[in-house]
């Protein structure tokens, strides 16, 4: 197979301004300098003429570049802003949803070099970067292969818990939701955290990221002849979660139950409440059981490094705090919260069904992300937690203490565990095959 090109949606505006820093070609003619394309009644107005689509191609793919003006980055995040961004490859402009979409058509490996540089710390070990290059490539190519199915099963590379749409069941006083992404229909991926953060050549790629991509060129994870759905999270908490407890009820053999250790391989059945409680209240040995700043700086942003209690953590709420929080986050008034009762757990001890008992209403919610969203102003670290109640008066607790394990959904690669493995001398292939059980690493091109 030849290295494919990926179509990356960058900009979505009624008018797109762009600058060719060297001559580009369209319909056999060369264009250069600043250009403006405007949405006009279902078509693209450019240089006084109307078009259904524009495709500007570089004369020299390795050196030619263009700039897009006022690209919005960090969409729907607190740091959302606009900046001018520079790209190699071709520029395609199409009409979509009553405005224009600017698309960068670029080689997959060039795309990945930018993604890895944008997403990973420059201090990350080469083996960790290689592992992430294979994961990002697998996610991308699986996404591209699934493009016609209308559903993308991969998650955002570095925002694995964000979501685009949901599916739910309200049978028997249950609200069971899980979050997936609608596939982009006119391009393969977007450039923001919804997919994988991509900024072209706006910022210099780190040498180590480029080396990691080059060293793993064309390599993907395969299972049963298909590219793996390479999910990952920050910290599994010592045990891997299985896919079906977080999303659709589909079992992937490579996303299976296992302990995050090579020296301690025994793992209790954490779906059993007594076993889950013992596991969460203690601190079992695991790769991701670390507080070493050298390791954490490879994976966590500066503001995340202030927190080191993610392997085992604790959150406390007063009655008024919890009842108001749950009402705001769910839109449901439970009254005072009487109890939070674990109903069903997955293989890492993460709850995927939780019963909320209130004075006005009782409802079982799930899956894991819905539980985390309901019980926090943003997201709880994970849904692997046990509940203690205190200051109980007339059957109503005055305080709730949540003791938990891990950070994120816990499915697939554990970033902190993988960083520790890299520091301990494990090569990227051993890291990947530890987290994606029974998979193989194959070179597609």
Q: What is the pLDDT of residue 249?
A: 93
Question: Distance between CA 13 and CA 71 in Å, rounded?
Answer: 9
Mean per-residue pLDDT, 303-322: 84
Contact criterion met (CB below 8 Å) for 255 and 411: yes
**Burial call 160-191: b when 16+ CB within 10 Å, e when fewer:** bbbbeeeeeeeeeeebbbbbbbebbeebbbbb
Give the E-state strand segments of 89-212 in sequence order.
Answer: 90-96, 99-107, 151-152, 165-169, 174-182, 189-190
Domain segments of the chain as ranges = 1-108
Mean pLDDT (whole number) for 251-262: 97
Q: Which of 38-47, 109-118, 311-320 has the lowest mean pLDDT?
A: 109-118
The answer to whether the predicted template modeling score (pTM) of the entire model surpasses 0.75 is yes
Q: Residue 370: which pLDDT band, with cuts at 50, 70 and 90? A: very high
Give the residue ranges of DSSP H helices in 37-89.
none
- Tell me how many degrees the CA angle 262-266-270 measures, rounded to the nearest 5: 120
How much of the chain exceeds pLDDT 90, in percent? Answer: 78
Query: In this predicted model, what pLDDT tens digit does every residue of 163-191 receive, in sequence order?
Result: 334 445 555 689 999 877 666 889 999 99
Query: Is the distance from CB of 353 to CB of 366 less than 8 angstroms?
Result: yes
Nearest in space to 444 (alpha carbons), one of 228, 221, 266: 221
| CB distance 210 to 113 below 8 Å | yes
Give the pLDDT confidence of 14-29 residue by residue, as tens digits.
Answer: 999 999 999 999 999 9
**Helices assigned H by DSSP within 81-122:** 108-119
- Token reading at 151: 């559903």
Helix or strand run (H / E) with residue 341: strand 337-345
């Amino acid at each position: 197979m030849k290295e494919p090109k990926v179509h990356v949606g960058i900009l979505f505006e009624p008018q797109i301004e762009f600058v060719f820093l060297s001559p580009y070609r369209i319909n056999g003619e060369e264009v250069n300098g600043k250009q403006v394309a405007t949405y006009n009644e279902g078509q693209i107005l450019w240089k006084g003429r109307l078009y259904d689509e524009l495709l500007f191609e570089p004369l020299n793919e390795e050196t030619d570049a263009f700039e897009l003006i006022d690209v919005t980055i960090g969409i729907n995040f607190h740091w959302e802003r606009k900046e001018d961004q520079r790209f190699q490859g071709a520029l395609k402009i199409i009409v979509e949803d009553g405005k224009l979409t600017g698309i960068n058509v670029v080689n997959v490996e060039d795309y990945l070099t930018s993604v890895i540089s944008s997403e990973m710390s420059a201090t990350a070990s080469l083996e960790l970067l290689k592992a992430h290059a294979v994961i990002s490539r697998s996610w991308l190519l699986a996404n591209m292969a699934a493009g016609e199915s209308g559903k993308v099963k991969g998650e955002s590379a570095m925002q694995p818990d964000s979501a685009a749409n949901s599916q739910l069941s309200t049978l028997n006083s249950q609200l069971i939701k899980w979050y997936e992404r609608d596939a982009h229909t006119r391009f393969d991926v977007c450039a923001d955290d919804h997919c994988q953060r991509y900024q072209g050549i706006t910022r210099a790629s780190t040498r180590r990221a480029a080396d990691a991509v080059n060293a793993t060129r064309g390599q993907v994870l395969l299972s049963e002849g298909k590219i793996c759905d390479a999910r990952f999270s920050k910290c599994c908490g010592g045990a891997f979660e299985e896919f079906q407890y977080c999303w659709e009820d589909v079992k992937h053999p490579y996303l299976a139950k296992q302990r995050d250790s090579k020296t301690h391989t025994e793992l209790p059945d954490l779906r059993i409440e007594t076993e889950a409680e013992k596991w969460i209240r203690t601190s079992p040995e695991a790769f991701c059981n670390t507080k070493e700043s050298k390791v954490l700086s490879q994976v966590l942003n500066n503001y995340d490094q202030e927190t080191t209690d993610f392997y085992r953590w604790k959150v406390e709420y007063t009655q008024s705090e919890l009842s108001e929080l749950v009402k705001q986050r769910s839109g449901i008034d439970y009254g005072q919260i009487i109890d939070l009762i674990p109903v069903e757990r997955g293989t890492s001890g993460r709850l995927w069904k939780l019963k909320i008992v209130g004075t006005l209403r009782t409802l079982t919610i799930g899956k894991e992300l819905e539980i985390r969203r309901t019980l926090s102003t943003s997201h709880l670290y994970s849904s692997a937690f046990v509940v203690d109640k205190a200051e109980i008066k007339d059957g109503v607790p005055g305080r709730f203490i949540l003791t938990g394990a891990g950070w994120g959904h816990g499915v697939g690669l554990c970033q902190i565990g993988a960083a520790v493995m890299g520091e301990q001398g494990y090569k990227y292939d051993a890291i990947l095959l530890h987290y994606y059980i029974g998979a193989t690493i194959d070179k597609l091109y």
